[in-house]
Amino acid sequence: MEKNWVKIYSSSNYYQAEIIKQVLLEHEIGAVLLNRQASSHQNFGNIEVYIHEENFSQAIELMVMNQITL
């Protein structure tokens, strides 16, 4: 992963992380998912959402406005 990316959200549920990513993308904030779940057993590990650090404040504000728990 490139430099200047920060983790904004982490969840063990893929669909929750995907929803966060889509909300960010709808507001023109680039976001990527990083799957850190064990490949043999999906109950261990998390799906993480990363954004560029320059968008951090805007993303946090957006998540608070949409009542997304961090």
pLDDT means over runs of 10, the chain (70 residues): 86 90 94 82 81 93 76
**49 dihedral zone (left: phi>0; alpha: psi -120 to 50; beta):** beta
In a domain, 27, yes or no: yes
Domain of 40, CATH number, reads 3.30.70.1530
Per-residue model confidence (pLDDT) at position 52: 95
In a domain, 53, yes or no: yes
Angle at 36 between CA 41 and CA 29, to 5 degrees: 140
Distances (CA, A) of 36 to 6, 8, 25, 58: 15, 15, 21, 25
Q: Based on the structure, what is the number of domains in the chain?
A: 1
